[in-house]
Amino acid sequence: MKGRRLFYSGHVQGVGFRYAVRQIAAGYDVTGSVRNLPDGRVELFIQGAADELSAMEREIADSHLNGFVKSVESADVAVDLALRGFNIER
């Protein structure tokens, strides 16, 4: 199991970005969360099998969301074994 944290910048708040990511996540065997940051970025944390993470990232990049994204920063991070489901944080 791997964990990954991604930061999306661009026009990613106020456009349904978090809700669309949650819908995409439902198609994968991942847990995690997505939230708006005060600086205008969106933070995505996902964990699961490496191939599931990569496929989900590709689907986000290939979706209509890509039109809102200026850049993406990604880093592998520690997993949280207590985390269940996929949530939109407020």
Encode pLDDT of 43-68 as tens digits.
999 999 999 999 999 999 999 999 99
Q: Cα angle vertex 4, ends 51, 63, to 5°?
A: 65
**Stated pTM of the model:** 0.95
Give pLDDT tens digits for 7-21: 999 999 999 999 999
CATH number 3.30.70.100 is the correct assignment for the domain at 2-77: yes
Per-residue model confidence (pLDDT) at position 46: 98
pLDDT bin (cut points 50, 70, 90) of residue 90 is confident
Domain edges within the chain: 2-77
Q: Tell me the CB-side half-sphere exposure of residue 85, using CA atoms within 13 A.
A: 3
Catalytic residues: 18, 36
